Amino acid sequence: MTNHDMVTAYSHSAIAFFDFDGTITTKDTLAELLKFKVGRVKYYIGLVFLSPVLVLYKLGLLSNHNAKEIMLGYFLKGEPAAEFNALCREFAETRLPALFRKGALSEIRRHLQNNTQVVIVTASPENWVQPWCQQFNLECIATKLKVRNGRMTGKIAGQNCAGEEKVKLILKRYNLSYYTKIYAYGDTPGDLPMLSLATDSYYKPFKERAY
C-alpha cells in the first residue's frame, strides 16, 4: 500500500467494492464496446468465427483468461493504442450511461454522500471503466491490456481480474483492517470470493432495468 492509499484509508471508515458488468450495468460491456468499435454486423460475424472458442469455454475446456485473450486478439490486435483509448473514452461518455442500473447508481451515490470509499472491481479492461470512474471520483481495479510498440496486442497484462484475482488485487492495494465497514456487491459466482471479504455483502442486489 502506498502512502497515498494509507492516507485515503484513514480518511474513510467504510469501503465499498462493486463489480461492474451485470451488477452496475445490464450488459457485458466488453461485448458492447466491441459492437461500438466494429459495428453489430462485424461483431456477430466475429462471434461466428470464434464459435469453437466459445463452445470450448462453455464446456469448461478453455479458461476464461484464454478465451478472453482469443476474443481480444481477434478484434483488437494491431490497433493503435492511442486510437483505441480514445474510442474507449467516447464509449464511456456516450454509450455506458444507457447500460447502468438506476439502483446501482443510487447506491454508489449514497456511499459517496456517507464518505464511503467506493472501488469498482471488474474483469473488464480499465480502458473504458477507468474513464467512467474518474468522472465520479471512484477508484478502479480492472483487467489491464498489453501494449507493444504503441499497438494493442490482444493479450492481458498479468491475470484477468476475476474470481480470486479480485481478492488478490484488493488486498494488494487496501489494508482492510483500517475499515469498520466493508461492503461488496456482485452478481456471479465469480464475485463470491470478493463478497466473502465484506462485513455487508449483496448478491444480485439491483434488479431494475437500465434507464
Q: Which domains does the chain possess? A: 3-203 (3.40.50.1000)
Return the C-alpha cell found at 50.
470464434
Phi, psi at residue 34, to the nearest 5°? -65, -35
* Per-residue model confidence as pLDDT tens digits over 81-94: 999 999 999 999 99
Give 12's pLDDT tier (boundaries 50, 70, 90).
confident
Give 110's pLDDT tier (boundaries 50, 70, 90).
very high
Residues 92 and 131: beta-carbon distance below 8 Å:
yes
Give 7's pLDDT tier (boundaries 50, 70, 90).
very low
Instruction: Tell me the C-alpha to C-alpha distance, in Å, between residue 170 and each of 38, 43, 105, 127, 145.
Output: 33, 33, 21, 19, 18
How far is the C-alpha of 101 from the C-alpha of 49, rounded, in Å? 32
Helix (H) or strand (E) holding 125: strand 117-125
pTM, entire model = 0.90
Instruction: Tell me the C-alpha to C-alpha distance, in Å, between residue 91 and each of 53, 79, 143.
Output: 26, 16, 17
Give 11's pLDDT tier (boundaries 50, 70, 90).
low
Give 208's pLDDT tier (boundaries 50, 70, 90).
low
